[in-house]
């Protein structure tokens, strides 16, 4: 018995199977689903000696998800042009959107890892969702995977009319707005010097040399996005004139 099969059939996986079956809507009999929820810190290998974790299945799931969403939008909005379809697809597969869905499904609670959940960022939720999609595709084929995506993502979470007005990147929105209005905008980022294990970055957003918003996060990109979001709500009336 190889290590994957041993792990997959272990008595402790009873809860794993029950919870995963509820998410999938069918019994997860393939070893792919264990791979889809395994973190690299476990250092597991398959019977051929190949290391495995969720990342390869995440790659597959990302591609399949994009295809299913493209098909859905093509059929749902027959008069839309390419630019509209591309923009709407990016809103649906937006990292924040997928993270929220993955978190609601509780996939991170099913992940096999040597690290505590607190060590993982928000993106892990979305990564695991894409990994599960990849597993369903390789196990059941495109049609079954398409049904799973509709059940899990499209039906409960996709409302086209709402998405049309949804801002997926506050930073991009604020930058475009400032350029259109010919307003000077600047993100000033510094790495915090702290005793904490994780790195933190602090960002102040200035408009016409006046600090409008500040934010702090574990990456420069996230800190800038947070600051831009705060600036948006601070300046919303001015922006929407």
Among residues 125, 105, 140, 120, the alpha carbon closest in space to that of 28 is found at: 140
Structure token digits, residue 218: 């574990």
Tokens at 72, concatenated: 């859905």
Cα–Cα dist 13/194, whole Å? 40
Task: Calculate the alpha carbon distances from 214 to 41, 153, 199 in Å.
Answer: 35, 33, 17
The SS3 call for residue 59 is helix
Burial of 38 (0-12, 13-18, 19+ CB in 10 A): buried
Q: Is 192 a catalytic residue?
A: no
- Catalytic entry in 31, 82, 122, 130: 130
Distance CA 44, CA 95 (A): 27
According to DSSP, the β-strands at 201-207 and 210-217 are: antiparallel
Catalytic residue status for 130 = yes
Other CB atoms within a 10 A radius of the CB of residue 79 amount to 5
Q: Of 21, 31, 58, 62, which residue is the catalytic one?
A: 62
C-alpha–C-alpha distance, residues 52 and 34, integer Å? 10
Q: Which residue has the tokens 């009873």?
A: 14
Catalytically active residues, by annotation? 62, 130
């Amino acid at each position: 018995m190889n290590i994957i099969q041993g792990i997959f059939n272990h008595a402790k996986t009873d809860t794993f199977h029950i919870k995963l079956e509820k998410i999938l809507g069918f019994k997860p009999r393939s070893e792919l689903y264990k791979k889809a929820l395994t973190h690299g810190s476990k250092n597991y290998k398959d019977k051929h000696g190949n290391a495995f974790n969720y990342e390869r299945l995440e790659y597959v799931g990302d591609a399949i998800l994009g295809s299913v969403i493209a098909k859905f939008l093509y059929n749902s909005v027959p008069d839309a042009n390419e630019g509209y379809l591309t923009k709407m697809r990016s809103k649906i597969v937006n990292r924040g959107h997928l993270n929220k869905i993955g978190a609601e499904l509780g996939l991170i609670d099913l992940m096999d890892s040597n690290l505590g959940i607190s060590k993982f960022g928000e993106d892990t939720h979305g990564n695991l969702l894409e990994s599960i999609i990849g597993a369903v595709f390789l196990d059941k084929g495109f049609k079954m995977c398409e049904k799973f995506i509709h059940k899990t993502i499209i039906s409960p979470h996709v409302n086209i009319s709402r998405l049309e007005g949804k801002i997926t990147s506050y930073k991009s929105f604020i930058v475009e707005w400032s350029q259109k209005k010919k307003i000077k905008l600047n993100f000033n980022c510094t790495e915090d010097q702290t005793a904490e294990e994780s790195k933190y970055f602090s960002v102040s957003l200035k408009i016409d040399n006046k600090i409008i918003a500040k934010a702090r996060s574990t990456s420069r990109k996230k800190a800038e996005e947070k600051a831009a979001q705060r600036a948006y709500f601070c300046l919303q009336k001015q922006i929407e004139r």
